[in-house]
Structure 1
């Protein structure tokens, strides 16, 4: 099913109440996942909340690692075909290994596409969450949009201007207003202020 843990660098951080709450949450999640798996409605907890699925990549490094792992499967299968050919094995054996390689390539292609979709879904969910938080902090809808583009997509002012089809001067004005309203001085702090319990994701 999966694992859940509480971790802290500070000794004796969690008391019995926190542990009991964590156990309750773990049981609730387990029940929800089990229910989703058998639901005739086909409801999927991870589809509604992709950020809960730890198996999905949440950063460029995670994504690269997952893709690299799958490409290694292809490399190993290709090496097997190469060795079979070098050793002059029977043609039907080489054909079998080649067919397996082709099958792995198709599988990996599908898996990589799914990884990219999952990462995009997680990024959209993160962006939506941050923009909602931004609106609650008295930012205007446009400021909330720009705050999300900075915190999630890590766009520069020039990139934001091109993306929103507005002038660079207008973007700078909006960014200045955002920093002022949030009481910060660095763009990199926007995500942490709007979602202090979240993680910066690209």
Structure 2
């Protein structure tokens, strides 16, 4: 849901957004950090933001922020719990864009701290757009912040909303493409299996980083000219970029739905939606895929997570736990 005001982008803005969309489409599969970077580049170019971040909901009251930039510097990923009176809850409940002018910044000031002093009141203007799924649920947010009062225009609001839509689509595209390669949960998979997967992922990224460091060290030891020094500088810059990318990826991996799931772990919003369609309407996997505008493979993945979390082995058994709070369903 948008702010409801139609905005015609200026030629310069339209060109910047086309470029951002092109970068997102060209980003290597699985490079979520690259998608975030493309969105940030457009926000800086078009809206001159002081800070921006991307957040993804995990469970009923947690938000993981895998990507954050503040005054041109990357920030550390964060995982936050939120209550009923903050920005994260408001955005998830209403599914529409928040702007600073709505409440003079009350919601944004109640949340994460920004600026050199770490004071949330440093933010003097803000636009936070939801990442809306095809079924209308909110999976995350894209936030643009300014430390100058009344900095953003109506065009800025439309820009953030446009980028949020493109970002959500690109992330969903990657999720669909990776389904075959993903470590799909089965009914017999344990939390220990998931932990091992996470260890392997971290180990792989550290080995890649170590290889880069070793390459730079070798170049530095044999350097004797300005060209050699510049080559080492380039390698070090690439290491810095890798660190930023790995920081983002590990935050997402560690907080991935089901990463530490065991029996009776809470269902994600999408898992609950799939479960409701099975229990209440008796839909097949293909019918659920059509209803939620996702692939049939993704439906199977969600169902396998549901089976594990509620402790059943097949879809027919879901009906017998329909009244359980773990499914969030009421008895028919």
TM-score with structure 2 length normalisation? 0.24
Considering fraction of residues, name the structure with more strand.
2
TM-score with structure 1 length normalisation? 0.36
Considering fraction of residues, name the structure with more helix.
1
